Amino acid sequence: LSASTDGLTVHTLLIDATFPDYAQVVPKPREVDPIAVNQAAFLQALRDVGAIRDKPNITVRLQCSEIDNTMTICTDSADYGSAETVVDFAGPMFDGIRACNLRYLQDAIESMPECETITISAPEKLAPIVVRPIDEIETYSILMPVRMR
């Protein structure tokens, strides 16, 4: 199917393929107790460490501390330098470091309805990371983790 107007042409093509059932990828709600963070503070922290946001494929690392209920958010790149900041969180912490694409995480949070608190579920290091407003089950973003070396 093609459509043209005023110098713009759009082509579509039906892809004859079998795709995996997305419902199998989406973690079940409350499958793991999420941590809760202030949406504005977390977004600002991502902006702070993402001063080099225009560079593709910058990985952000998230690490919780049970000592003072803070999450360290950091980026580190041989080409662009490193940055680190901390935000408070509530709830059970996840064990170890979670990593994902900085731009994808920031875009996910920016596209959510404005609310005071968001939740982050990251049950295992290489499991999908689910970000959602605290009071909404139907609105969520899923980020695939980045393997850390």
Rounded Cα distance between 126 and 111, Å, is 24
Question: How confident is the model at residue 32, as a pLDDT?
Answer: 64
- Average pLDDT over every residue of 53-57: 65
Taking 70 as the threshold, does the pLDDT of residue 5 lie above it?
yes
CA distance from start to end of the chain: 45
For residue 149, pLDDT over 90 is answered with no
Looking at residue 30, its pLDDT comes to: 54
Distance in angstroms (rounded) separating the CA atoms of residues 55 and 81: 12
74 or 55: whose pLDDT is higher?
Answer: 74
Q: pTM higher than 0.75 for the full model? A: yes
Strands (E), 24-80: 35-38, 59-65, 70-77
pLDDT at 53: 52
Mean residue pLDDT across the chain: 84
CA torsion, points 106, 148, 80, 101, in degrees to nearest 10? Answer: -20
Average pLDDT over residues 46-60: 78
Residue pLDDT, tens place only, 97-127: 899 999 999 999 999 888 899 999 888 888 8
Amino acid in position 102: L
Task: Please check whether residue 34 is in contact with residue 119, taking contact to mean a CB–CB distance below 8 angstroms.
Answer: yes
